[in-house]
Amino acid sequence: MHDIRAIRDNPAAFDAALARRGLAAIADHLLAIDEGRRARITAAETAQAAQNAASKAAGAARARNDDAEFERLRALVAEQKAEAARLDTEAQAEDARLREALLEIPNLPLPEVPDGPDESANLEIARWGTPRDFAFPPAEHFEIGGVKAGMDFATAAKLSGARFVVLRGAVARIHRALAQFMLDLHTTEHGLDETITPVLVRNEAMIGTNQLPKFAEDSYRTTNGWWLIPTAEVTLTNSVAGEILDEAALPIRLVAHTQCFRSEAGSAGKDTSGMLRQHQFEKVEMVSITTPETSLAEHERMTRCAETVLERLGLPYRRMVLCTGDLGFGAQKTHDLEVWLPGQNTYREISSVSVCGDFQARRMNARYRPAGGGKPEFVHSLNGSGLAVGRCLIAVLENGQQADGSVTLPAALHPWLGGRTRLTAEGTLA
């Protein structure tokens, strides 16, 4: 959420930043609401002061037995009290109206973010690994011989409908091994604190990480009002909501492996085959809470944490910086990591790592107390996939596939597979 004071100070700059996202100017509208709100607050304070003065004068009139003056002043006190209450109610309504308007406005892109209308303008800034040269036409993950028995879409459709999968046997074991490998790497080498969180949250948590109010249709809600999290970003980031942290406690670096749930609204017809786009999936999520001065360095650090997972697994990838037209609602800047999928003969997103500045912190009222003293300031928040487990499974299977339908598995996974190195063409580990 944006600071209305910053908009007041430079409305033209605010509108110019929104224009980079392709959005219309809105500062004048916000400032009109703000002006009305502040006018009512001032008027309410004036009425309250008049009420206090009249109350004091009424006491003096009563003390000198001036009944007529006392009655006049008592009526004036009641009048001013009613007026102050009315103005206060109006001010609160305008305050709520302003907050609702601000909650609908996305974060402002950093100056270095490239301008562009959509993903076609995203920039590749780094590449690692060389895609394997296959001696046979590589299959998509769900077509690989050794995978078919362990990736059951028919049963999932019977149970839940489209965009679900049942994993069995060796394929399920590889999926679990990937999550364990990622968690152990992040906790033992990258210094992240493993966290197990709920997957059901209140409205306030979804507002804090900007899923609500704008993107309600993208998530699932239970009949008693809880939301199923679309990512552990929601729970990890909101763990500091309403807190005033000591600067010495920062940065906070968290990681969680959770189920995630997304309605995929607006994705009809996209990635309908396989498990690339699911309503329910697993992800290892990283979240950092930092001071404003260190958030950009932390963004680079988090990106490298995600890249290290891919490098240890030997999966070719490229790093993209998203343009203004493809930037997520809460992000100031985002790095997308795209992994090579030979079955599709293209790179596909497997991680997004974003720095949000104080955008989410203002929504959550998450602050820290500077070590040198002074009033509390808003923290900065960052989030990123480290990685999406299902998509990583797809990449491992497609990049390691062999002509006979077997899959050679990355050496980094062997310890989490009991020393097994291959998925056989029959669908077993060997």
Q: What is the CA radius of gyration of the chain?
A: 28
Long-range contacts of 348-352 (CB under 8 A, 24+ apart): 348/276, 348/391, 349/391, 350/310, 350/317, 350/385, 350/387, 350/388, 350/391, 350/392, 350/395, 351/306, 351/384, 351/385, 351/386, 351/387, 351/388, 352/322, 352/328, 352/384, 352/385
Residues labelled catalytic: 262, 277, 349, 352, 391
- Count the residues in the chain: 430
| Confidence (pLDDT) at 273 | 86
CA gap 405, 430 in Å, rounded: 14
* Spatial contact of 313 and 396, defined as CB atoms under 8 Å apart: yes
Element (H, E) at 284: strand 280-290
**CB atoms inside a 10 Å sphere around CB 153:** 16
Q: How far is CA 131 from CA 93, 258, 340, 341, 409, in A?
A: 58, 30, 7, 9, 16
Whether residue 354 contacts residue 380, with contact meaning beta carbons closer than 8 Å, is answered with: no
Mean pLDDT by 10 residues, the chain (430 residues): 97 98 98 96 91 89 88 87 91 96 98 97 98 98 97 97 97 98 98 98 98 95 97 98 98 98 81 90 98 98 98 98 98 98 97 98 98 95 98 98 98 98 98
pLDDT for res 19: 98
Of the candidates 342, 343, 294, 338, the one whose C-alpha atom is nearest the C-alpha of residue 317 is 338
Collapsed DSSP state (helix, strand, coil) of residue 127:
strand
Q: What is the reported pLDDT for 328? A: 97
Cis peptide upstream of residue 429 (ω within 30 degrees of 0): no
Q: What global pTM score does this model have?
A: 0.94
Burial of 346 (0-12, 13-18, 19+ CB in 10 A): exposed
List the domains of the chain with CATH numbers.
Answer: 4-104 (1.10.287.40), 119-429 (3.30.930.10)
Nearest 5°: phi and psi at 72?
A: -60, -45
Query: What is the separation of C-alpha 365 from the centre of its chain, rounded to a whole number of angstroms?
Result: 16
Omega within 30 of 0 (cis) for the link into 251 = yes
Q: Tell me, what's the pLDDT at 126? A: 97
Q: What pLDDT is recorded for position 288?
A: 98
Specify the pLDDT at position 190.
Answer: 98
Burial of residue 163 (CB within 10 Å: 0-12, 13-18, 19+) is: buried
- Say what the pLDDT of residue 302 is: 98
Provide the sign of the torsion angle of the four alpha carbons 42, 47, 50, 56, taken in this order. negative
Element (H, E) at 246: strand 244-246
248-267 CB burial, b ≥16 within 10 A, e <16 = eebbbbbbbbbebbbbeeee
| β-bridge mates for residue 346, sequence order | 341
